[in-house]
Each structure stands twice: as C-alpha cells, then as structure tokens.
Chain A
Amino acid sequence: MTVRQMLSGNEAIARGMWEAGVVVASAYPGTPSTEILENFARYPNVYAEWAPNEKVALDVAIGAAYAGRRALAAMKHVGLNVAADSLMYASMTGAEAGLVIVSADDPAMHSSQNEQDNRTYARFARIPCLEPSDSQEAKDLTVVAFELSEQFDTPVLLRVTTRICHSASPVELGERCERSSQTSPFPRNPAKYVMVPSNALRRHPVMEERIRAIADYAETFPYNRIELRDRSLGIITAGVAYQYTREVFPDASVLKLGMTWPLPEGLIRRFAASVDRLIVLEELDPFIEDVVKRMGIPCQGKDIFPLTGELDPYVVRLSAIQAGLLSDAAVPSIPTLEGDPLPARPPVLCPGCPHRPTFYVLNKLKVPVNGDIGCYTLGLVPPLSAIHTCGCMGAGIAVAHGAVQAGSPERHVAVIGDSTFFHTGIPALINVVYNQSPVVTVILDNRTTGMTGHQPNPGTGHTLQDKPAPTIEIEPLVRACGVKQVRTLSAFDVTGIEKTLKEYLQLNEPSVLIVQEPCALLPEARERWQPLEVNLAQCNGCTLCFRIGCPAILKSDELDEKTGRPKAQIDPNLCTGCELCAQICPRHAIPFRLDSIFLREAA
C-alpha cells in the first residue's frame, strides 16, 4: 500500500534525501531552507550537521561525495553567494557519488535582504537545475537529482522557493534505497581532483561537454512535459509558477519544465510550433524567456508579468487581463479599505529579548552603528532606531572599519550576533586588529541562532543531531584574534553596557564587548520568566519605558493627575521579567524581582 502524507516542500526534500540514500548533509540555517536539515537529521542512520557557514557546508558535502557517499548541502539563496567559490570548483571536479545543492530562493523577500534568482548559478557553473512545483515533486526530484548527478558526474542544483518550501501538499512516500555501506578508498586522482591550472585547463572542456550532453538528455527528461489542451495559448513554466498557470489558465497548453537548466531546445521548438501564442510564466528573472528569444522564437513573458516580487494567482490574473490574455470578467473584485492607512505591525524584538538593552544604550549614545543580520537587526525598528547599515551576514564589522579608515569623524560601533560572528564575523574582526581601527564591536551572544528558529551553533555545546559538543567560547576567541580590550557582561546590565561603551568609544584601539544572556524563548530562559508589575502609585506617565520598544509594556487606562498622560501597565502574559524597564524607570515605579541581580545597584 502506498503511504500518503501531508508534507511541506522542505519535509519532502528531507524525505527524498533519505529515500535517495543520502548519508551526509551539511547546511547553515536560512529561511526558507532551514527545515530541510532539521527534518533530515531525524532520519535513522544519517549524518546531518550545521556548519558555521554555507561555504563550509558545501565543502563538507563535496568531501563526502569525493569519498563516495551521496551528499547534500542546503542553504538559502544568499547562502549560495557565500558558497559560490566551492560550487565553481565542484563543477570542475565532479565527484565519486551524487552531490546535490539545494538553493531555497525567497522571491518577495519574506525574510531576506534580496531576491536574487539562483537559476543563474546553474548556468554560470554549467550544472543542471531542477525545479519542483509541489511537495511530491520536491521529494521525487531530490531523488532524481542524485541519479543525474551520478549519471553525468556533476553537482546538481535543486532550486526551490519560499512557496515550495513552506507550503504543504500530500506526498506518496517511497522506500530508502540502501546503498553499499562500504566506501572505496579516497580517490587519488589529481588530474580530476587537484585544480591547479594544468589540470583545470583539461577539466573545463569536460564541463562544457557535460552540460551539452545533459541538454540532450533534457529533451526526454520525464519531468519536462507537454500538456496539450487549447492550442491558442501555450505557456512555458516551472516551479510554483506552474500551479498559478493551471489555476489561472486551466485550458491553456503547457510546457512544464522540471529541469530549467540546461533547457530542452528541441522540446521548446516543438511546443512553440504547436501553439498560436507563446508566453513564459516564471518568477523573478526572464531566465527561460531569454533562451527562448535567443532561439529566435517569438514569445512574451516579462512584458506581461512582473520582474520583481513573487507571483500569485491574483498578480498573474491581473497581468493576463492587462495583456488581453483573459477577459476582464476573470478578475475577482478586490475589496479595498477606505480611510487612513493602518498602523504597521513590523516584527519587533520579543519581550525579554537580551538584545534590547544594548540597543537602548546605543540609541542613547547616538553613535553610527553598523549592523548585521539576525534578530538583532530589529534594533533598527523605532523607538530603538539604533542600526544604520545592514547588508549581508558578516558585513557590519568590516563596514565600520572601512568607514573609520575613510576618516568618518565619529567612532563606529559594529553589532553582530553569535551565530553571525562564527559565520563570517571572525575574519572581519581579525582585519580590524591587523589593520588597527578603533572600531567597537558588540557581540550579542544569545546562545543560539535566533532568527531562523533556535538552531544550535558552535557556541551552544550541542549539535544538530543533539550530540554534546565542545562549546567554543567567544571571549578567548576574540582575544586570540588579538583584541586587547575585551569584556563580557550580562546582556541585561544596562549600566555596565553604557559604562563600557562610553569607555571603549574613547579608546584608540579595537575593542569588543560581549553581552551574554540566553534568548528569552529558550527553555533555560523560560524557566526564569517572572512578570513584573507597575506600581501605579509611583508611575507618573513619563513614557520613558514606552521608549524601550517592549511589546509587554502598554498604556494603562489610568491617567496621571498632573501630566494627564497614561500610566504604564505590564502585560503579565508577555513580560518575562528581564528588568530593563525596572532599571531605567526614573521613579522606581517598576519593582525588581526578588531574585534580581540588579537590586543592589538600584538600592
């Protein structure tokens, strides 16, 4: 009997990995890819790990594939930028067993800094790109990716998007194909695996010949299929856009591509010849469209559908009506909201977040702050408003250094999370020391990779598969990088943080402040939750506590007699008792917890 299960795209990829007999998988978390490894790690007899960054993850997978075991590296789209160097050499060398890279792209940037289309990497690296359009295909194409990889001795890119990763649909499960547990000795084949110029020169033509052979194979690849219906309109599509195509143009003929690089030019010509009007419906870049046009086949695509953001049934329908592909009658009427714009609900630092006190102090000090990526990027949101740049992971420290070397008249502070520091922060800090700039770096060590949902990292003392691991302590690491001025404080110690930062901002050498406290959502922090209360008799509605941006602090209904302003109130269901508000309240209207470590100072 076949077993059908509701799986998200990411769960389906994990299942596909297991069925394909994958033995080693390495990744760095990143939305929307994270759950692939989290799910794979729970299957029996597999090795799955969090690497400190995507380049390391890909090199690990490459090493495993060189050693003759099927291996996979998963990452979000921007992770492949970090791993691109490794992708390029892996394409040159090939491997001894299947090697698959999952790139989870994020059109519309639901949780990313950009929305690049990573199919371009497949073309760039001369490797095939597979694109599933639902969970069933996500699983099936994962298995196929390994077969292709071995058949053609090539890495394969499995490209998915947020709407594939994070949507669920039923999947028919298969069995694991158990592969031999014996590995052959590690290959001694320098002509193939040592990419010095003399060898690389001979490998490049191999790579080009390989992609031509795969293009031939693509003509009969079963996941590239023509669905002939009404021939007045033909649509070439792939990935989730296939679903929107079927939704909006149920009668149109479709060429559905499961492999979007290399493209099956013969199949495309045949399809084009069998329909009156040809369009390409794809998300982000005109990747397929450009090839079709280069082949001299008239078609439309990005002149109808948007180049930026993600598609959805509404956008596709509206674009189609504007282009005369559908009658107006097809557009649903869209409710519009009259009146003032609604207040936004941006994501914010959680109640009790250990990042908040640092940003409260940075806001007070009015220094330029070069930020990085993680929950702490939310230090940008008013009222904290204390981040002035943020580009990609690991950038902040070096951006601060560059600004200082350019003669920026102010002292710069760089803020970076623990996981980000391990990811790409360390080389930037070494640069600050080596090339001597007085950048003040604050490492926000919340003992986890918060933003992506609490993955362990090299500082947490355990691994993805829940094995104990040595804890890499940040302070000795920073000292080993050559920083002389280093201090570690509790992340809730507002006074200490302010004092230290003021002192460091006067120095003429690099300095690092490590603020440490577990993320408020971690079990060890939850155990200590203890909501505070406002003493309304003391509160005079000065509003200072509203300016720390804590979602647990609300305006009460009680007005202060003198000022007429609402007094503060604390939501006991949200407050964790972090005591930032208690520390900054000028009227001591928020009593400390009985077990407070700050009582002493307040008294």
Chain B
Amino acid sequence: MNVPLNFLLCGVGGQGIVLASDVLVAVGLLAGLNAKQAEVHGMSQRGGSVVSHVRWGREIYSPIVGWGEADVFIAFEKLEALRNLRFLRPSGLALISTQALEPLTVISGGQVYPDDSRLRAAFAQLTPHAHYLDAESIAAEVGNVRAVNTVLLGALSALLEANSRFAAWAPAPEIWLQVIAERVPSRHLDLNRQAFQAGRNAIAGPR
C-alpha cells in the first residue's frame, strides 16, 4: 500500500461518474486510507467525454493518474472505454459497462461507432482482467436505469475482492453500503442497496 492504487473512471456527462468517484473516495477514506480525486468541470459536462481520477494509498502526490498507470479502469460507456484505453496499466483490471451512447458525430456526422469486436480485442490484448457488464439492464431489472453507477460500484467491489492483486485493498461491502447510504436520498436507499447487490451478484454470483 506504499504505492497508491489508481482508478480511472470514464464515460459521458450525465452518467453519474462524479457521484461514483465521490463514493470511491469516501470508501477509501472510511477503509482507513488516504485519497485524492480529480475531475474536470465545464465544457465536458455538456454531453462530452468525462474522466475522473481517484487514488487510494498512504502517501499520494499527483491528483491525476498518468497514461498507462490506471490499475483499475471503469468505463460507463463503450466508446469512452476505447478512447481512454491509454490510461490502463497493462494487466490491470477493467470493468466496462456495455452501454453505447452514440455521439452526434455518429448520429448526424457520418462517423462510425466502433463495433464490439474491436472493443473486446483491444482490451484482450492488454489484460486478461477485462469484465463486461450490461449494467443498464441490471439497473432496469432492479427498478431504475439511473442506478447504473451503483450497479457498477457493486461489481467493482466484488472484482477487487476476487483479484489477487487488489484483494488486500478491497473494502468490505458494508463500507461501500455505508458510504452509498450517506449519499443517496433515503427514498432511493433500498433501490441502491439492491443495485449494489445486483452488481456484486453479476460478478460473483448470488451468495
């Protein structure tokens, strides 16, 4: 733990990436670690690409993660996963939500949205630890597509536990749930608990 653990979250403005990074930071702190977080506001929020950096560790200097240095890579959208591929540390852990949000350059600009085989090949070349999750459908089954980010956090919690490199870092599920509970309005709490558990089940299978 003397070398920090680096997370990179990416996706599209409006997908809840900032909230997910807040949770990640708070989980790290509650687990007794130090944390830093960085994101860019402004233009990126008008439906553009969004990237957020989170680091856990004892002593952390840079608030941002360099290219090739993300131990854990979480993509909320497929095209953004490819766009930010350069951040992933080879053999790192990648969690990719299989949602596709076509940018206007595809809808009306004649450009082509990359197909799944390209996505999977690019990640397969880099790491055996790439996981694809239809988080949108899982959230819909739980009752609200807006819970996608909680589903992904649930999946992430299980992936950290299951990966021998990260197991020592993995906070207990109760810590995640406590942090989520502090951040969502109480009327959405049950939904978010279920979404978190559904994300975990999608990785680990129901217990």
Contacts from A to B (Cβ < 8 Å): 6, 31-32, 34, 110-111, 134, 162-163, 166-170, 240, 243-244, 246-247, 312-315, 317, 332-340, 342-350, 375, 378, 381-383, 451-453, 543, 546-547, 549, 551, 553-555, 573
Chain B interface, DSSP helix/strand/loop, else mixed = mixed
Contacts of B106 in A (CB 8 A): 343
B113 on the A face (CB < 8 A): yes
* Cross-chain pairs A/B with CB under 8 angstroms, 19 sampled: A168-B36, A168-B63, A170-B34, A312-B66, A333-B90, A335-B88, A336-B86, A342-B79, A343-B111, A345-B12, A346-B104, A346-B105, A347-B48, A348-B46, A349-B46, A378-B46, A381-B104, A551-B47, A554-B102
Contact B86 A546 (CB under 8 A): no
Taking the nearest CB of chain A, how far is it from the CB of B168, in angstroms?
Answer: 22
- Of the stretches B37-45, B153-161, B180-188, B191-199, the one at the interface is B37-45
Contact B42 A339 (CB under 8 A): no
Pick the contact of A169 from B36, B105, B112 — CB < 8 Å? B36
Given known A-B contacts A170-B34, A345-B48, A111 and B41 have beta carbons under 8 A apart: yes
Q: A-B pairs with the 6 shortest C-beta distances?
A: A111-B42, A314-B66, A167-B63, A332-B68, A313-B66, A167-B38
Pick the contact of B107 from A111, A339, A350, A554 — CB < 8 Å? A554
Contact B40 A312 (CB under 8 A): no
Chain A interface, DSSP helix/strand/loop, else mixed = loop
Contacts of B151 in A (CB 8 A): none
Assembled-state Cα–Cα distance A381/B109 (Å): 11
Contacts of A243 in B (CB 8 A): 61-63
Contacts of B69 in A (CB 8 A): 313-314, 332
Contact A345 B79 (CB under 8 A): yes
Taking the nearest CB of chain A, how far is it from the CB of B76, in angstroms?
Answer: 13
Instruction: List residues of B (18-58) whose CB comes within 8 Å of A's CBs.
Output: 25-26, 29, 34-49, 53
Taking the nearest CB of chain B, how far is it from the CB of A311, in angstroms?
Answer: 9
Task: Beyond A32-B41, A332-B68, list 15 extra A-B contacts (CB 8 Å).
Answer: A110-B42, A162-B40, A166-B38, A168-B63, A170-B29, A243-B61, A313-B69, A337-B85, A337-B122, A345-B79, A345-B103, A347-B44, A347-B47, A382-B109, A452-B42
Contacts of B48 in A (CB 8 A): 345-348
Contact B36 A167 (CB under 8 A): yes
Given known A-B contacts A111-B42, A347-B45, A334 and B103 have beta carbons under 8 A apart: no
Contact B82 A337 (CB under 8 A): yes
Contact A168 B37 (CB under 8 A): yes
Contacts of B40 in A (CB 8 A): 110-111, 162, 166
Contact B109 A383 (CB under 8 A): yes
Contact B46 A31 (CB under 8 A): no
Taking the nearest CB of chain A, how far is it from the CB of B120, in angstroms?
Answer: 13
Taking the nearest CB of chain A, how far is it from the CB of B64, in angstroms?
Answer: 5
B108 on the A face (CB < 8 A): yes
B145 on the A face (CB < 8 A): yes
Contact B86 A169 (CB under 8 A): no
B166 on the A face (CB < 8 A): no
Taking the nearest CB of chain A, how far is it from the CB of B116, in angstroms?
Answer: 13
A-contact bits for B60-102, CB 8 A (1 contact / 0 none) = 1111111111000000000110110110111000000000001
Contact B36 A163 (CB under 8 A): no
Taking the nearest CB of chain B, how far is it from the CB of A372, in angstroms?
Answer: 15
Contacts of A381 in B (CB 8 A): 104
Contacts from B to A (Cβ < 8 Å): 12-13, 25-26, 29, 34-49, 53, 60-69, 79-80, 82-83, 85-86, 88-90, 102-109, 111-114, 118, 122, 126, 145
Contact B29 A6 (CB under 8 A): yes
Most interface-central of B90, B105, B126 (chain A CB within 10 A): B105
Contacts of A169 in B (CB 8 A): 35-37, 60, 63
Contact B46 A350 (CB under 8 A): yes
Contacts of A110 in B (CB 8 A): 40, 42-44
Given known A-B contacts A333-B68, A342-B114, A555 and B107 have beta carbons under 8 A apart: yes
Contacts of A163 in B (CB 8 A): 38, 63-64
Contact A244 B61 (CB under 8 A): yes
Contacts of A337 in B (CB 8 A): 82, 85-86, 122
Contact A335 B68 (CB under 8 A): yes
Assembled-state Cα–Cα distance A349/B36 (Å): 31
Contacts of B36 in A (CB 8 A): 134, 167-169
Contacts of B83 in A (CB 8 A): 342, 345
Contacts of A240 in B (CB 8 A): 62-63
Contacts of A339 in B (CB 8 A): 114, 118
Pick the contact of B108 from A32, A383, A452, A453 — CB < 8 Å? A383
Assembled-state Cα–Cα distance A51/B117 (Å): 53
Pick the contact of B103 from A312, A317, A343, A375 — CB < 8 Å? A343
Taking the nearest CB of chain A, how far is it from the CB of B2, in angstroms?
Answer: 11
Contacts of B42 in A (CB 8 A): 31-32, 110-111, 451-452
Taking the nearest CB of chain A, how far is it from the CB of B194, in angstroms?
Answer: 20
Contact A6 B25 (CB under 8 A): yes
Contact B64 A312 (CB under 8 A): yes
Assembled-state Cα–Cα distance A314/B6 (Å): 14
Contacts of A246 in B (CB 8 A): 61
Contacts of B145 in A (CB 8 A): 573
Given known A-B contacts A163-B63, A244-B61, A345 and B38 have beta carbons under 8 A apart: no
Contacts of B126 in A (CB 8 A): 335
Contacts of A451 in B (CB 8 A): 42-43
Contacts of B82 in A (CB 8 A): 337, 342
Contacts of B53 in A (CB 8 A): 167
Taking the nearest CB of chain A, how far is it from the CB of B103, in angstroms?
Answer: 4
Taking the nearest CB of chain A, how far is it from the CB of B16, in angstroms?
Answer: 13
Assembled-state Cα–Cα distance A324/B34 (Å): 33
Contact B103 A344 (CB under 8 A): yes
Assembled-state Cα–Cα distance A247/B126 (Å): 24
Pick the contact of A313 from B41, B64, B90 — CB < 8 Å? B64
Assembled-state Cα–Cα distance A401/B29 (Å): 56
Assembled-state Cα–Cα distance A342/B86 (Å): 13
Assembled-state Cα–Cα distance A163/B61 (Å): 12
Taking the nearest CB of chain B, how far is it from the CB of A170, in angstroms?
Answer: 7
Most interface-central of A34, A348, A375 (chain B CB within 10 A): A348
Taking the nearest CB of chain A, how far is it from the CB of B186, in angstroms?
Answer: 21
Q: Which A residue's beta carbon lies closest to that of B36?
A: A169
Most interface-central of B43, B44, B65, B102 (chain A CB within 10 A): B43
Assembled-state Cα–Cα distance A162/B63 (Å): 11
Assembled-state Cα–Cα distance A453/B41 (Å): 9
Contact B108 A549 (CB under 8 A): yes
Taking the nearest CB of chain A, how far is it from the CB of B62, in angstroms?
Answer: 4
Pick the contact of B62 from A31, A168, A312 — CB < 8 Å? A312
Contact A335 B63 (CB under 8 A): no
Most interface-central of A32, A167, A338 (chain B CB within 10 A): A167
